[in-house]
Structure 1
Amino acid sequence: MSRRIDGDPLALGAVDAPVVLVEYADFRCPFCGVYARDTMPQLIQEYVDAGVVRMEWRDLPVFGDESVAAAVAARAAGEQGLFWEFGEVVFADAPERGHVALPRERLIEIAKQIGVPDMAVFEADLTDPELLRRVEADLAEARSLGATGTPTFLVNDTPLSGAQPISAFREAIDTELEQARN
């Protein structure tokens, strides 16, 4: 399911990394927040920075209209090179239980907070039908795989469901790296 698009604002790491970690997530998902705060930074340091893992984000907005709006807003920030920064702020505020409120006003505050350079373009992009289409395409892709909950991960073709401990990610990544070497 990896896309390996060079310059993809929703991806981190080398396009030719032997392992791709695809994350299907919702910006309002508390477990996605746990992964983003606790696990993802370690995986970036250990694997992405070493050039052996690429991370690719997919939207799986399952918690209503604010989830869809947040996904579009993150993509709007991504259009200006700040997708991951947007997500970092959203997930920093995420409660461990329940769903963070992300009305339009809060999405705009976050964009200002991370320094989106052209706020007029950002605000216009919040209603961009093409960005919404991309969110909906990710959602359709996730559903075609049977993913209904967040977060859901694919480590190459190995599925992981939920905010697993880092050891589960390391095991899956290391197994895929070993297979890539053989």
Structure 2
Amino acid sequence: MPSSTARTSRKPLALGAGVLVAALLLGFASYTATKPDAPSAGPSSPTADASADPQAGMYPELERLARRDAADPLAQGRTDAPVVMIEYADFRCGYCGKFARDTEPELVKKYVADGTLRIEWRNFPIFGEESESAARAAWAAGQQGRFWEFHAAGYAEGAKEKGFGKDRLRTLADEAGVADLDRFARDLDSDAARLAVKKDQEEAYGLGATSTPSFLINGRPVAGAQPTRTFTDAIETAKKAAGEAGR
């Protein structure tokens, strides 16, 4: 178990009895979806049967975790988008990098651009001290409006292998176009950064997430760097359910 995990509180979220089922599902899916030889989403996938019933596997309590804050620098997309995907991820996670490079850009191009999808990032560092530092650095870049540029630099091919030491984080911030690197360094080590990361981290643990990446799509748990089709199916289903609810 990572040392950061051992130091972090895992209080369950008081969100209702139905969330216990979702938490178990997300925890199990987190384990199975991120094993090295994990198959594509199949019958046991949280989204496998969603098309039959748009509300299947969706939990209103989890959907309410979407912040929809227009001032949130760690989010992209319209605050009134019908679908919100919350992503819990770690910069040292190889599967998170795969999702960031291979899948997320397609979702942004297809769904964020047309107003369907909002993506809200949650820092979920679980792989030790450098994970924690990278999470705070991403938050610090966000304070200068460069979170998503830092996200791209931190998940670029080969970036993880170079580590996330202090000098490396400054280099990534520079690559991301962070204007004031001295302020970035101060923000990275600030209490505000630590509290923000801790809030996100404890939210993920409270949901039963045990590995990264883990997602909520309008309250439906999805775990792991699943094939793009899994995400597009979940988004389309959530969009349909939102449309029906608004009638």
Q: Do the two structures share a fold, i.e. TM-score over 0.5?
A: yes
Matching residue within 43, 48, 56 for 2:107: 43
**Amino acid corresponding to residue 149 of structure 1 in structure 2:** S
Pair 1:136 & 2:227 matched: no
Within 5 Å, which residues of 2 pair with 1:1-182? Answer: 1-94=65-158, 101-182=163-244
User: Does the 8 A contact of 1:60 with 1:139 survive in 2?
Assistant: yes
Shift in Å at residue 105 of structure 1?
0.7
Rounded to whole Å, the distance in 1 between the matches of 2:144 and 2:206 is 30
Q: Deviations over 1:130-152 (max 9, x none)?
A: 11111011110001100110000
Rounded to whole Å, the distance in 2 between the matches of 1:79 and 1:93 is 25
Shift in Å at residue 7 of structure 1?
2.1
Q: Deviations over 1:40-98 (max 9, x none)?
A: 00000110001010000001101101000000001111000000100101100347xx8
Alignment TM-score, normalising by the size of structure 1: 0.96
Rounded to whole Å, the distance in 2 between the matches of 1:121 and 1:58 is 22
Q: 1:50 is paired with a residue of what secondary structure?
A: coil
Shift in Å at residue 16 of structure 1?
0.3
By relative contact order (CA 8 Å, sep 6+), the higher-ranking structure is 2
Give the root-mean-square deviation of aligned CA atoms.
1.2
Structure 1's unaligned 5+ residue stretches are none
Shift in Å at residue 115 of structure 1?
1.9
- Percent identity between the aligned chains? 47
Larger radius of gyration: 2
Question: Where do 4+ consecutive residues of structure 1 move more than 6 Å?
Answer: none
Q: 2:155 is paired with a residue of what secondary structure?
A: helix
Shift in Å at residue 120 of structure 1?
1.1
Query: What is the aligned length?
Result: 180
Q: 1:20 is paired with a residue of what secondary structure?
A: strand
Rounded to whole Å, the distance in 2 between the matches of 1:99 and 1:139 is 23
Structure 2's unaligned 5+ residue stretches are 1-64
The alpha-carbon distance between structure 1 residues 100 and 25, as it changes in their structure 2 partners (threshold 3 A), is: farther
Shift in Å at residue 181 of structure 1?
1.1
Shift in Å at residue 99 of structure 1?
5.9
Q: Deviations over 1:141-172 (max 9, x none)?
A: 00110011000000011111000000000111
Rounded to whole Å, the distance in 1 between the matches of 2:226 and 2:162 is 21
